[in-house]
Amino acid sequence: MRSVQYTQNGDIDQLHIAEANAPSVGPGEVRVAVRYAGLNPVDLAVIGGAFGQATGTKGNGADFSGVIDKVGEGITDFSPGDLVFGGRPHRTQTTHLLIRDPAERLDKIPRGLGIDTAGGLYIAGRTAIAGIRALAITEGETVLITGASGGVGIIAAQLAVNLGARVIGTASEANHEALRNLGLEPITYGEGLEARLREAAPEGIAAAFSTQDEAEIKQLLSLDIPAGRINSIGAGSQVADTYGVSIAGETAAERGDLAWLAKAIAYGHVHVPVAGVFSLDEVQSAYRFLKGSRPAGKVVLRVDADSLTNDQRAFLSS
């Protein structure tokens, strides 16, 4: 197996590919041949040491999708060949992933959901659902989603639209058309944003999903958005005590949230664009693209499948 790893904290250039034996499968376990692994901004914070110093060799990534290639004794809900997705923090950017608790970590990919999209849903999807749930949006309200073209924001914004809200989303002008096509009203972020928001919503904004720093929380409060109707995922836990805002994120998600979102995407209620696909060997370039380009949607690593079997080749020539 091949995996993305790092051995000390730092920046993107700490990431490298390492080789090892694929894990064996024990009772109650399954092994997934990973096909796609999602990238998230929080990965860079982990590599940088924000959640503790690295000691020894560390894996990377939390989102994945793939196909089960081995199951252990006692497994009845999954079989070899099942397409699955889920999350396993700090180790999913690999060719083979051992899941010791499949009932808690895996969901089957429903028909209509691409395996590439599924590979980037775990962190962003769970974060978006938990944050929108915390806002208790009602039909007809005006809701602001900041960073609306990002991996979390683009899902959260569409969930708010589906709840009947009028949704304003901040984003770079390059992503405005994509957001309009999803039912949002895009606003360019940066200098003068507060004035643009007041002009766009003269009767006020009822609730906000904040993806940025503490300065953004202060700005939202200055717009007279009630603190109890602001959910922050990017400013740190201290803003809950300091300002009284909600901080519901990925850890507040429920077990069934990801499966629900998968069906919502499969049925066409939510669209999650894949903004960039990179090979496992291009992991550094993938993170630089994520960090520097502010793409609309998710960035994923593609893990090459094994070559076609002789029977599969014969099918193409029959």
Give the pLDDT confidence score for residue 70 in this predicted structure. Answer: 97
Instruction: Name the residue among 194, 210, 199, 242 with its Cα closest to residue 143.
Output: 210
Element (H, E) at 241: helix 238-243
Q: In what order do the strands lie in the sheet with 230-232?
A: 185-188, 166-171, 142-145, 207-210, 230-232
What does pTM read for this prediction? Answer: 0.95
Q: Are 61 and 35 in contact (CB under 8 A)?
A: no
What is the distance between the alpha carbons of residues 228 and 202, in angstroms, rounded to a whole number?
20
Beta-bridge mates of residue 230 = 208
Query: 309 pLDDT exceeds 90?
Result: no
| DSSP track, 109-140 | PPTTS-HHHHTT-HHHHHHHHHHHHHHT--TT
Residue-averaged pLDDT of the chain: 96
Residues 145-183 pLDDT 10s? 999 999 999 999 999 999 999 999 999 999 999 999 999
Q: Which CATH class is domain 128-252?
A: alpha beta
Which CATH topology does 2-121+272-317 take?
A: Quinone Oxidoreductase; Chain A, domain 1 (3.90.180)
Q: Are 214 and 235 in contact (CB under 8 A)?
A: yes
What are the residues whose beta carbons fall under 8 Å from the beta carbon of 234, sequence distance 6 or more?
147, 210, 211, 212, 213, 216
Residues 96-154 pLDDT 10s? 999 999 999 999 999 999 999 999 999 999 999 999 999 999 999 999 999 999 999 99
Average pLDDT of 13-32? 97
Q: What φ, ψ does residue 43 adopt, rounded to 5°?
A: -55, -40
Residues 198-236 pLDDT 10s? 999 999 999 999 999 999 999 999 999 999 999 999 999
Q: What φ, ψ does residue 288 adopt, rounded to 5°?
A: -65, -40
- 122-135 and 257-266 helices, crossing angle to 10°: 100
Tokens of 295: 């793409």
Any idea where the domains of the chain sit in the sequence?
2-121+272-317, 128-252
What is the distance between the alpha carbons of residues 270 and 123, in angstroms, rounded to a whole number?
16
What are the residues whose beta carbons fall under 8 Å from the beta carbon of 219, sequence distance 6 or more?
193, 194
Secondary structure of residue 236 in the 3-state scheme? coil
What is the distance between the alpha carbons of residues 211 and 231, in angstroms, rounded to a whole number?
9
Residues 265-276 pLDDT 10s? 999 999 999 999
Query: 318 pLDDT exceeds 80?
Result: no
User: What does each C-alpha distance from 52 to 48, 58, 249 come to in angstroms?
Assistant: 9, 12, 20
Chain mean position to CA 193? 26
